[in-house]
Each structure stands twice: as C-alpha cells, then as structure tokens.
Amino acid sequence: MTTTHSSSGPPARTPRGSARARLIAAAHQEVRRQGYAATTVDQICTAAGVTKGAFFHHFESKEALAVAAAEAWTERARPMFDMLPHTRLEDPLDRLLGHIDFRFSLLHGPVDGFTCFIGTMVQDAYATSEPIRLACEASIAAYCEALAPDIEAAMDAYGAPDGMTALDLARHIQSVLQGGFVLAKTTNDSAIARESVAHLTRYVRMIFGRT
C-alpha cells in the first residue's frame, strides 16, 4: 500500500516507473521456486503487482525478461566481492575462506531463499533457448572470474598442487554450491548443502596447507 487508504484498499498501486525492476525481482523469486518453463508470465506479473501491459512494454518476450534477469542477478552478486568485511583481510587465503564461510552462512532457512536463479534457470532452458544459456554462462563466468584473483594470490603465497589453476578451483567452488542447491531441493532442507560446503572448506584448507 503506497497510497493512503482507509479500509483495505484493493490493488495497492505500485509507484510508476518501477515496473521493470519489480518484474525482474519477481522473475528471480518465481523462477527460483519453479524453474523457467513452469513459471508463467501471468505469475510474474501478479508477483510484481503489475499487469501484462507493463510486462510487454518493458520486455519483448518472456525470454527477453529471462536474459535481463540473468544480467541483473550478476549485478546483484557483485557486492559479495567488494562490500563484505572479509574482503578487507590481508591474507588472500583468509579472503577466500571468508568468502566460502559467507556462502555457507547463507545456507539457512527455506530452500527458495538461498538457491541460485542462474543454476535453476539453465537446467530447463539450456536446450531450448540459446540466449538464455549464454546469459547463464556469462553470469557463472563473471562469478568465477571475480573469485579467481584471491585464489591466484593464495596459490602464489602458499603453493598449490600441480596442474591446478585459479579458475579451475573457482569453478569447483561454484560447482559444489550448485550441487548443494540441487540436493537441498531433494530433501527440502538446507543442512545437506551446508555439509557439502563444509567438505569444500576442508578441501581448500588442505590444498593450501592450512590446518
């Protein structure tokens, strides 16, 4: 309710000009819960509190919204790499472990609350929509590239197994997270994802010789 209403004002009019952002946020929410194909345009509109007219004014198609939402998701993740306290630590390995700890700390509460929009969407869209797949690929790549510098620095400082690269390990971290999301969906519980990330933490510590 943004406007004054004495009794239960019906439609709770949304501020003009915010429809695009609201639609993207609604897409994140709905797609994370149901996947891309199962989410209808009407559902997204209802969740966003706008009508179809607004939807197709801002986006050419459902697919176009998906691509825009993927880009927005990447932007949403950016603060993880420069705004959080652990990013100020001196030691690159501390920064890396701090990042994983942070991801671990997110794995609580209902499953819809921590799963990945990109990972969910790519599962049922990669074969049917190349634009969506490419947007998802770009988003994952951006995450891994943001993680790589600290890994690289840790490798320089502490050494690393032969044949391992920074991007390699970054992708493995992402892989464990995505796998944890999938398993959490099977049990409808976050514990199984935390377990897996705990193994990941142990692995990273062992690689760099930190007990």
Partner DNA sequence: ATCTACATACCGACTGGTTGGTATGGTGTC
Partner DNA sequence: GACACCATACCAACCAGTCGGTATGTAGAT
Q: Does 131 bind a second copy (CB under 8 A)?
A: no
Q: Does 16 bind DNA (CB under 7 A)?
A: yes
Binding at 122: pick from DNA, a second copy, none (beta carbon under 5-8 Å per type)? a second copy
Contact criterion met (CB below 8 Å) for 169 and 151: yes
Task: CB nearer to DNA: give 39 or 115.
Answer: 39
Q: Does 32 bind DNA (CB under 7 A)?
A: no
Which one of 53, 79, 159, 209 is in contact with DNA (CB under 7 A)?
Answer: 53
CA distances from 140 to 45, 62, 91, 118 (A): 27, 21, 25, 8
CA distance 60 to 211: 53
Task: CB nearer to DNA: give 29 or 174.
Answer: 29
Return the closest-CA partner of residue 66 out of 124, 144, 10. Answer: 124
x/- contact string, 158-177, with a second copy (CB under 8 A)?
---x------xx-xx-xxxx
Q: Radius of gyration over alpha carbons of the chain, in Å?
A: 20
Task: Write out the DSSP string of 60-125.
Answer: SSHHHHHHHHHHHHHHHHGGGGTTSGGGG-SSHHHHHHHHHHHHHHH--S-GGGTS-HHHHHHHHH
Binding at 35: pick from DNA, a second copy, none (beta carbon under 5-8 Å per type)? a second copy
Counting Cα atoms < 13 Å in the Cβ hemisphere of 75 gives 10
Contact footprint for a second copy (CB under 8 A): 33-38, 111-112, 118-120, 122-124, 126-128, 133, 136-137, 140, 161, 168-169, 171-172, 174-180, 182-183, 185-188, 192-193, 195-196, 199, 202-203, 206-207
Contact footprint for DNA (CB under 7 A): 2, 13-14, 16-20, 39-42, 50-54, 56-58, 61-63
